[in-house]
Amino acid sequence: MSSLTARKITDIDLARRLVEQRGLSHVKVGVFDIDGVLRGKYMQRDKFFHALEHGFSFCDVVLGWDSKDELYDNVTYTGWHTGYPDALLRIVPESCRDLTCEGDMLLFLAEFDGPAGEICPRRLLQRVLARGGEMGFKVCGSLEYEFFLFQETPESIRDKGYRNLKPLTPDMMGYSMLRSSVHSELYHELLALSEAMDFPIEGLHTETGPGVLEAAIAVDDALPAADKGALFKVFTKVWAQRRGLMATFMAKWSPDYPGQSGHIHLSLRHTDSDTSAFFDADKPFGMSDIQRHFVAGQQKLMPEFLCLFAPTINSYTRLIPGFWAPTEATWGVENRTTALRVIPGSDKSQRVEYRLGSADANPYLALSAAIGAGLYGIAHRLEPDEPVKGNAYELDHPEHQSLPRTLWDAAQRLKASEAARELFGDAFVEHFAATREWEERQFRKHITDWELDRYFEII
């Protein structure tokens, strides 16, 4: 029993044994909401043991409010009209993590069950992956995130009104060995945290911009890959704040610097043979017919699924030419100006990179959309447009490759998407689209600095 660790927890019995072995009086339990925010609480040990077997009740308001705890007034699943009742949550034993910043404390993820499960982001991804399983595929994925670090605190950024913030380091220093060596202790701490909490970082480096880093998380099966990405975002912010710093994953915090991406790498393997479904050595670029159809589905449905990859008002400030973010539903081979980048390789490495997503996206929803669209392409034997060669920003693109330019427009495309309803279900589509409409409405209530500067005196 002494060798039992968080990573070895695969079932209810082992979860119970580990809690008992550590003599914990409480454990931490959390669930990711629509925006990818981790909501949860400490749970007393006996209650936790009961919840492992039977689930536990949790107020469904976490599916009925936004990232600022403002209540939606336009959703049907929950609200004042339902009285915000409890919903059933199921604890996921295999999600167990060590909370290294809290001694022997353990963290377990949960997911909504019953009617709430139709909206729950983690359950949505499971449904998409089940579709892939029925088609004979296992999905592997990994996430890459860019994020800025600031020498600020939650108090200081508010005192400053989010202006004149001080990044961890100055200037544009992409892939800088100077920066990573000067601040090596911070890098080592983050790398150690990623190993201890089972979202191991394969690569960590500075990106171009003051204080910006990029972390590539190790590949895994798609569901644990989503867990890793979601937990990485939360606990990178925890790690930073405990050291007097702040990390942000918002899509674009300054008009002067490139935005922050959340790139997704995906591949399919045949479940019966454990061989790549994407690699065919006899085809151009090693692309099998299956990969070609997968890319075609992603390309075709990108305009309809955009708000799952770009879920905030801020997301759309990133999607402009020349700032390393795609602006049309394009694809190419080893082309970083396109929305989809096919990466030729081998049975182990042939994949596609979905470059459209921003760092503010919910990993479960982004993966659901990227994988679901690809599976749709395979099922319907879709064909992609011709691959882009050269700079995609400089080309004229057909109308069907155009992406919505605002969150509101993106929400309307999702609501009208028959493919989205087929893949994700009516309940999720209606709920999520309504939450994005709500987000746009909240934005419209505010007057920006740009408007004051432009109109206050002269108009």
Q: How many CB atoms lie within 10 A of CB 25?
A: 10
Q: What percent of the chain has pLDDT over 90?
A: 94
Residues in a beta bridge with 262: 145
* DSSP per-residue string spanning 177-196: HHHHHHTHHHHHHHHHHHHH
Structural domain containing residue 423: 128-452
Among the candidates 60, 91, 116, a domain finishes at 116
Q: What's the pLDDT score for residue 1?
A: 44
Burial of 111-137, coded b for 16+ CB within 10 Å and e otherwise, reads bbeeebbbbbbbbbbbbbbebbeeeeb
244/364 same-domain check: yes
- Residue 398 binned pLDDT confidence (cut-offs 50, 70, 90): confident
Q: What's the pLDDT score for residue 397?
A: 87
Assign 172 to helix, strand or coil. Answer: coil
With respect to residue 123, please indicate whether it lies within any of the assigned structural domains.
no
Burial of 339-371, coded b for 16+ CB within 10 Å and e otherwise, reads bbbbbeeeeeebbbbbbbbbbbbbbbbbbbbbb
With respect to residue 121, please indicate whether it lies within any of the assigned structural domains.
no
Tell me which H or E stretch contains 31.
strand 26-32
Assign 57 to helix, strand or coil. Answer: strand
Strand 137-150 to 220-221 pairing? antiparallel
Q: What's the pLDDT score for residue 260?
A: 93
32/160 same-domain check: no
Q: How many domains does the chain have?
A: 2
Q: What are phi and psi of 262, to 5 degrees?
A: -130, 75
Do 249 and 147 contact (CB within 8 A), yes or no? yes
Do 188 and 195 contact (CB within 8 A), yes or no? no
> Which 3-state string (H, E, C) describes 70-130?
CECCCCCCCCCCCCCCEEEEEEEEEEEEECHHHCCCEEEEEEECHHHHHCCHHHHHHHHHH
Q: What are phi and psi of 89, to 5 degrees?
A: -115, 145
Q: Measured over all CA atoms, what is the biggest interatomic distance in the chain, rounded to whole angstroms?
A: 74
With respect to residue 459, please indicate whether it lies within any of the assigned structural domains.
no
Q: Rounded to an integer, what distance in angstroms lies between the CA atom of residue 150 and that of residue 240?
A: 9
309/349 same-domain check: yes
With respect to residue 389, please indicate whether it lies within any of the assigned structural domains.
yes
Residues in a beta bridge with 395: none
406/287 same-domain check: yes
Instruction: Using alpha carbons only, give the angle 64, 120, 444 rounded to the nearest 5 degrees.
Output: 40
Measure Cα distances from 108 to 88, 129, 239 in Å.
16, 22, 18
254: domain CATH number is 3.30.590.10
Structure confidence by residue, pLDDT tens digits, 44-73: 999 999 999 999 999 999 999 999 999 999
Q: Rounded to an integer, what distance in angstroms lies between the CA atom of residue 25 and that of residue 21?
A: 11
Task: Identify the burial level of 307 via C-beta atoms within 10 angstroms of its C-beta, where 0-12 means exposed, 13-18 middle and 19 or more buried.
Answer: buried
More confident residue, 397 or 54: 54
Q: Rounded to an integer, what distance in angstroms lies between the CA atom of residue 331 and that of residue 326?
A: 10
177/282 same-domain check: yes
26: domain CATH number is 3.10.20.70
Q: Rounded to an integer, what distance in angstroms lies between the CA atom of residue 29 and that of residue 27?
A: 7
Per-residue DSSP letter, 65: B
Q: pTM for this one?
A: 0.97
With respect to residue 377, please indicate whether it lies within any of the assigned structural domains.
yes
367/445 same-domain check: yes
With respect to residue 342, please indicate whether it lies within any of the assigned structural domains.
yes
Residue type (1 letter), 133: G
Task: Look up residue 218 and give its two tokens.
Answer: 């190790």
Q: Rounded to an integer, what distance in angstroms lies between the CA atom of residue 414 and that of residue 279?
A: 31
Q: What's the pLDDT score for residue 9?
A: 97
65/179 same-domain check: no
With respect to residue 457, please indicate whether it lies within any of the assigned structural domains.
no
Do 36 and 437 contact (CB within 8 A), yes or no? no
305/434 same-domain check: yes
Instruction: Using alpha carbons only, give the angle 262, 310, 87 rounded to the nearest 5 degrees.
Output: 95
296/441 same-domain check: yes
Task: Look up residue 401 and give its two tokens.
Answer: 């490759």
Structure confidence by residue, pLDDT tens digits, 278-320: 999 999 999 999 999 999 999 999 999 999 999 999 999 998 8
Please choose, from the candidates 285, 288, 423, the residue with its C-alpha nearest in 3D space to the C-alpha of residue 367: 423
102/172 same-domain check: no
Q: What's the pLDDT score for residue 322?
A: 67
With respect to residue 122, please indicate whether it lies within any of the assigned structural domains.
no
Q: What's the pLDDT score for residue 2?
A: 55
167/306 same-domain check: yes
Q: How many CB atoms lie within 10 A of CB 101?
A: 13
31/179 same-domain check: no
Among the candidates 86, 116, 146, a domain finishes at 116
- Sign of the Cα torsion 121, 127, 131, 136 reads positive
Among the candidates 63, 81, 116, a domain finishes at 116
**pLDDT(321) > 80:** no
**pLDDT(325) > 70:** yes
Q: Rounded to an integer, what distance in angstroms lies between the CA atom of residue 224 and that of residue 109?
A: 11
